[in-house]
Amino acid sequence: MGKKWITTPRSEGKASKQAHADLPEGTFERELGKEGFFGPATHMHHRHPPTGWTNFEGALKPRAFDTTKLDQFGDSPWSARPLMSNAHCRIRIWEARQSMDHLVRNGDGDELLFIHSGAGELFCDYGRMSFSEGDYIVLPRGTMWRLAISEPARVLMIEATNASYMLPDRGLLGPNAIFDTAALGMPEIDQAFLDQQDENEWEVRIKRREAFSRITYPFNPLDAVGWHGDLVPVRLNWRDIRPLMSHRYHLPPSAHTTFVANRFVICTFVPRPFETDPGALKVPFFHNNDDFDEVIFYHAGDFFSRDNIHPGMMSLHPCGFTHGPHPKALKNAFEQKAAGTEEVAVMIDTRDALDVDEGAGSVEWGGYVDSWKPKS
């Protein structure tokens, strides 16, 4: 049966004609939207900042975690404790402090690695691929892989549980927008890959339904000499992303979608110029993302809409409450001192509520919920 949104667009009271621009004097805009900025929306104009609470208790409070304080990682990606998860997504932080002496394989879903720091080589069924800071690496479900590091690598791992990573529909923008697929790196069967094929004993650690099996081979099972097809790991660095921009309108986070999976999306915030239209908002707008939980991993730079956030931190905004820029950023809502943003961050918007693991709770910044309070 076909479905159609119930929509009756109208304007009431003092309201702007354009979202995120030309707000009535002395008001603060709040967006109420469906389906994570993809569905119908209404824009409220308030006399006070919608985040001007004096107290916030309960499960919906915004939370922040300092993952730089995590220091127990083990020798395998499967040693990393989950930070947050639901039935469709699992988020971990792992640090490879030395090259892996075994192979791993995820039987639960595609794995996305984001290299927060470090460098080295990834060896997998398909060949060898170098990696460095700022790389995304998409590993199809069932791929055998290991990291050989040249410097310790801290990795954000995002599992698409029982699902696959795909690219967003770019629609009117065309297939080359945001990033051209020609920018994607792929493994190669080169001499370095052939040289690592030996007759020594190798172990493969397989994860399936969060249980682990071990298979031992009397040879290195990464022994392919060739392949053909269109299922392959790919690498994308954030520097190869060319963000959508509008000088007259602050684009929603959905405009920065990089990968999509089943019931969640991955967006990447990279440096871009600020809007130049005098009446356009130049900070993220207050919004109720009432259908998605929002996680942001802060990778590098100056996070202009947040106070007291540094690289390596992670925030969680559960769906169901209004959030937006901190008071310091709000002062620059219509006039910025710099020419553009300098932040790099990974956003994970999940359609289903995320459970916070003890590993994240152990490095939580309890004062985050109070960071919206005006400074006296």
- Could you tell me the residue ranges of all domains in the chain? 28-64+242-372, 73-238
The size of the chain, in residues, is 376
Residues with a known catalytic role: 250
**E-state strands within 67-134:** 82-85, 89-96, 103-106, 109-124, 127-132
Helices (H), the chain: 191-195, 327-330, 358-361
Please give the pLDDT value at position 54. Answer: 92
C-alpha separations of 82 from 48, 67, 158 in Å:
38, 12, 10
Q: What gap in Å lies between CA 132 and CA 150, rounded to an integer?
A: 10
In CATH, the architecture of 73-238 is Sandwich (2.60)
**Matching residue, tokens 């947050």:** 84
Please give the pLDDT value at position 206. Answer: 98
Phi/psi of residue 258, nearest 5 degrees: -105, -45
Report pTM.
0.96
Task: Let me know if the fold of 28-64+242-372 is the same as that of 73-238.
Answer: yes
Please give the pLDDT value at position 33. Answer: 87
Q: What gap in Å lies between CA 112 and CA 261, rounded to an integer?
A: 11
Q: Amino acid identity, residue 350?
A: T
Which of the residues in the chain have pLDDT under 70?
Answer: 375-376
Adjacent-strand bridge partners of 265: 260, 349
Q: Does residue 43 have a known ligand-binding role?
A: no
- Cα torsion 268, 274, 278, 281: sign: positive
Indicate the CATH number for domain 28-64+242-372.
2.60.120.10
Q: Amino acid identity, residue 73?
A: F
Q: Which H or E run contains 195? A: helix 191-195
Please give the pLDDT value at position 376. Answer: 56
Please give the pLDDT value at position 1. Answer: 80
Q: Does residue 46 have a known ligand-binding role?
A: no
Q: Does residue 287 have a known ligand-binding role?
A: yes
**Burial of 1: CB neighbours in 10 Å, binned 0-12, 13-18, 19+:** exposed
